[in-house]
Structure 1
Amino acid sequence: MFDISIGEFCPFVYGKALKAEDRKNGKIPVYGSNGIVGYHNEYLVNGPGIIIGRKGSVGELHLSESPFWVIDTAFYISGFSINELRYIYYQLKTLNLDKMNSDSAVPGLNRENAHNRVLSIPEDSNVREKIGGEIAKYDNKLKCNNRINQTLETIAQTLFKSWFVDFDPVKAKIAAKEQGEDPQLAAMMTISGKTADEIRQMPADKRKELADTADLFPDEMLESELGWIPKGWKVQSLKELVNIKYGKDHKKLLEGKIPVFGSGGIMRYADQFLYANESVLIPRKGSLNNVMYVDEPFWTVDTMFYTVMKRPSIAKFVYQFVKTLDLSSMNVGSVVPSMTVEILNAIPIVIPSEKSIKDFDQIISSLYNTKKVYECQNKVLSSLRDSLLPQLLSGEIAIN
């Protein structure tokens, strides 16, 4: 191991301005200090690299495995293999660059100060690459699990939209009636994505299950204040389904295992919970569209609302509904984006039959249970990786 300054080993390079209106349609990620801020059709850096927040989110680190653009609120590092970059990325994380704010007005990272920080690294680049490769095993599995969970969440969102926004089973029944065909079979085909022949070949119990689900949907639509909705369904407000509660300050809580949520996600883990049942968390300040579903004991800080359900089996339905909304367009804050209880309570919602909601909850609960398995895996993997990292980076553990 030998000591070398950041400036000598992996100097920070300034990004280049690229206004939103100047970005052209493409697949090249554009990074700012807080991550991807858009996409463009050209790259500034042709290869993998590390992005370091310069203004705003000071010292925040991002690793890009493909060509990218960096705007002028960030620095970047390039010219290394992806595995060596991964090694550098985790070395930089040990330096707490986010604590190096040098500007009292707009948070800023001074490049000269950062360049003077010293890294203790293996002299052989092959060793650095091997350590990066070892870390990659964990990172790649974490990414794989996250992709699976994103797919599961997309399936749940698609199902909700089909049933309760676009009313596809209802429209299929109406169309079948007009053509003199079987409305129930039409709805079964729409719900399952199967052909009539495939449905007839299904096992009797599965076919009955599907038929029962199809029967939940009416074959008529009536006009309402929100437009045409299925007959028998009602337009009500969100307050009919949930009580919206304020989060509380967390600073006096001790360290523990209970997740503490802010508008950006989990902030820390504490020793107490604020609420222990299923809930939908809605930002009160900040990233208003970052709505979250929680089914374990949790604490929310005072920039978040949490919800208490007024009906059984309704939490996932409420979560998927709120996810369809553009809450940022309801912002009432002049400086910091803000939401109020009054605005949320008054949001109109089409409420189907209790049985429809219960069946929807049962179907997507299996998806959510699978998601939870992968989330638990990720906690274990992250813990293993983080416990190994100091030993790998310091050379205590040798990589053969």
Structure 2
Amino acid sequence: MSTVWNTYRIEDIADKITIGPFGSRMKSDAYVESGVPVIRGTNLTGSKKFSGDWVFISEQLAKQLENCCVSNGDLVFPHRGSIGEVGLVDNQFHQYMMSSSLMKLRCNPNIADSEFIYYFFKSHQGRYELLKNASQVGTPGIGQPLTSLKNIEIKLPSLGEQRKIAKILSDLDDKIHINNQINQTLESIAQALFKSWFVDFDPVRAKIAAKQEGKDAELAAMCAISGKSEIELQQMAEDDFAALRATAALFPDGLVESELGEVPKGWEVSTVGEQVQTVGGGTPSTKNVDFWDDGIHYWTTPKDLSNLTDKILLNTERKITDAGLKKISSGLLPKDTVLMSSRAPVGYLALSKIEVAINQGYIAILPNMKYSAEYLIQWCEANMAEIKGRASGTTFLEISKKNFREINFICSDEKVVTVYTKTAKTLYDEITSKAKENQSLINLRDTLLPKLMSGEISLNKNMGSIDD
């Protein structure tokens, strides 16, 4: 049974509402190497957890600006710039300072649960309330930010029901966050392995060093590949030890000079264009409804990649029809195509797990029998500085397919690539699984959010149960 929902103004449920310091009181030259972290608009990126780089001010300056400090449970909102975002302060740091573009709300804990209020402002209604008084001329801003915030109306159930609702939504967000962390770890493993084998050539260098010292070169390479000591290798299962030795045997025991510097003996230098197929895309006329209405084919722009946390493309904002697809020379690209944005900005990457058509803002890299999608996306990561360095343009930087295809490409031993792919594919399969799970969790959360926050769905006495 649900409780009665009463209407309040934000001012009625607040212990404190303040705005960030005037810009003159906290200029960028006040930043120090460590101290009190400053929350800026760039740290609010749509999730409950803050992200991005931190800047710091001294403890002394923080004391002078004490009224602008925020701590665990406070909510922060931009009143200039990225209006509509909201952040819930956690206890990662003892205290924070808010920047001059933010304002804070500290809830009265006897009336309002701060996490429930956070989710209200994540709902369409809450976001609308934050945006309705904003000017969109020039940099978005709210003329009277504190007054606007104070006067926002919100309906609240009992404090106990607020906490139950917030817990349901928070549990979903926490699971999404955990999956994101797992995926970051898995991708880091794939990236570290690629760098060790195909950039730093660690197994090759280990063999060279061992030979110079009169030691077992294969054993040294096994240590380099596995990260284990010789004693730990001896404790491995027989089959695992044999598989590791077989992998170590694939690496040469010498380096030779090339136009790229030293490369493993027997590995050749080519160009990416000679080794894999690359294609671009296009945009069917947006004025022709025959190309877009009731579209059935995924069609992507780099915007679809800008918010990805996993570099796995599972969906697109828009779809095109059969007629629209015929207007794109590269057609429908297969699953496991590597997508790289070629402009505005250069360098977004994703592994497409759907058949997809692309617009002109991409270079798509098609895997082949030797070079897998998992190998190629890590090759792009490892060579991103070179890729961006070849971009040019006056309005915005862009790398052409011609310039991309000319980038040097080390032709690694095919058997080594195969072993890497086997490991990397396992990692990326798990990343894809977690990304799909997150997609379902996000859809569930976004479906429940407005219904829970409006009382359309009520909770029964069991916290985990929802009444329709």
Q: TM-score, length-normalised on structure 1?
A: 0.85
Say whether the 8 Å CA contact 2:13–2:108 is kept in structure 1: no
With over 3 angstroms needed to count, the CA separation of the structure-2 counterparts of 1:300 and 1:314, relative to structure 1, is same
Aligned residue number for residue 317 of structure 1: 375
1:238 matches 2:296? no
What SS class does the counterpart of residue 355 from structure 2 fall into?
coil
1:46 matched to 2:71? The reply is: yes
Residue in structure 2 matching 1:363, options 405, 414, 423? 423
For the Cα contact (< 8 Å) 2:38–2:99, is it kept in 1? no
Task: Give 1:370-381 correspondences, 5 Å limit.
Answer: 370-381=430-441
Query: What percent of counterpart residues are identical?
Result: 27
**Counterparts in 2 of 1:198-217, with a 5 A limit?**
198-217=232-251
1:104 and 2:137 matched = yes
Aligned twin of 2:119:
90
Deviation at residue 357 of structure 1 after TM alignment: 1.2
Shift, 1:234, TM fit: 1.9
Task: Please say if residues 43 and 53 of structure 2, whose CA atoms lie closer than 8 Å, have aligned partners that are also in contact.
Answer: no
CA contact (8 A) 1:25 1:39 kept: no
Superposed displacement of residue 312, structure 1:
4.1
**1:171 and 2:205 matched:** yes
Give the CA deviation at 1:315: 1.6
| Partner of residue 137, structure 1 | 171
Q: 2:188 aligns with which of 148, 154, 168?
A: 154
Aligned counterpart for 1:3 among listed residues 3, 7, 13: 7
Shift of 1:163: 0.6
**Cα distance, 1:80 vs. partner?**
6.4
Q: Are the equivalent residues in 2 in contact too, given 1:33–1:53 (CA < 8 A)?
A: no
Name which structure has the greater RCO, CA cutoff 8 Å, separation 6+.
Answer: 2
Contact 1:258 1:271 in 2 (8 A): yes
2:135–2:142 CA contact under 8 A, matched in 1: yes
Query: Residue 56 and residue 333 in structure 1: after superposition, are their counterparts in 2 closer, same or farther (change >3 A)?
Result: farther
| Distance change in 2, residues 1:123/1:238 (3 Å) | same
Which range is displaced more, 372-381 or 117-126? 117-126
RMSD: 3.3
- Are the counterparts in 2 of residues 30 and 70 from structure 1 also a CA contact under 8 Å? yes
Q: Secondary structure at the match of 1:290?
A: strand
* Distance change in 2, residues 1:25/1:116 (3 Å): closer
Q: Secondary structure at the match of 2:141?
A: coil
Whether 2:48 is the aligned partner of 1:23: answer: no
| 3-state SS in 2 of match to 1:38 | coil
Deviation sequence 1:51-83 (CA, Å, 0-9, x none)? 4344443323444423444333444434467x9
Distance of aligned partners of 1:194 and 1:142 in 2 relative to their CA distance in 1, 3 Å threshold:
same
1:18-61: CA deviations, max 9, x gaps?
55554323483632256345213447422244443444433234
Check whether the contact 2:70–2:97 (CA below 8 A) recurs between aligned residues: yes
Aligned residue-pair number: 399
Report SS of the residue matched to 1:292: strand
Match of 1:59 among 84, 91, 109: 84
Please identify, of 50-59 and 386-395, the stretch whose mean Cα deviation from structure 2 is larger.
50-59
4+ residue segments displaced more than 6 Å: none
Of 216, 234, 243 in structure 2, the residue corresponding to residue 182 of structure 1 is 216
Report the CA distance shift for 1:59/1:255 in structure 2 as closer, same or farther (over 3 A). farther
Counterpart of 1:281 in structure 2 is 339
8 Å contact kept, 2:273–2:406? yes
What is the rounded CA distance, in whole Å, between the counterparts of 1:282 and 1:111 in structure 2? 42
Q: Give 1:230 deviation, angstroms.
A: 0.8
Of residues 132-141 and 26-35 in structure 1, the stretch that sits farther from structure 2 once superposed is 26-35
**Deviations 1:327-362, CA, capped at 9 Å, x for gaps:** 555553445454333332232232211111111111
Between the aligned partners of 1:183 and 1:86, the Cα distance in structure 2 is 58
For structure 1, the residue ranges without an aligned partner over 5 or more in a row are none
Contact 1:331 1:337 in 2 (8 A): yes
* Partner-residue secondary structure (3-state), 2:441: helix
Which residue number corresponds to residue 289 of structure 2? none
- State how far apart, in whole Å, the 2-side matches of 1:341 and 1:211 are: 40
Whether contact under 8 Å (2:301, 2:361) holds in the other structure is no
Contact 2:75 2:86 in 1 (8 A): yes
Kept in 1: contact 2:278–2:364 (CA 8 A): yes
Deviation at 1:137, TM superposition (A): 1.0
Matched ranges for 1:336-351 at <5 A? 336-351=396-411
- Residues 282 and 360, structure 2, Cα contact 8 Å, conserved in 1: yes
Q: Structure 1, residues 93-131: CA drift from partner, whole Å, max 9, x if none? A: 313448655233333345559538744321534432332
SS in 2 for 1:282: strand
**Deviates most, 237-246 or 170-179:** 237-246
Normalised by the length of structure 2, the TM-score is 0.74
| Structure 1 residues 287-332: Cα deviation after superposition (integer angstroms, max 9, x where no partner) | 4343222233234444333222355442211211211223555553
Q: Give the equivalent residue in structure 2 for 1:387.
A: 447
Answering whether residue 413 of structure 2 is matched by residue 353 of structure 1, we say yes
Larger radius of gyration: 2
SS of equivalent to 1:77:
strand
Structure 1 residues 318 and 55: CA distance shift in structure 2, 3 A? farther
Q: Does 1:115 align with 2:149?
A: yes
Q: Is the 8 A contact 2:338 2:350 kept in 1?
A: yes
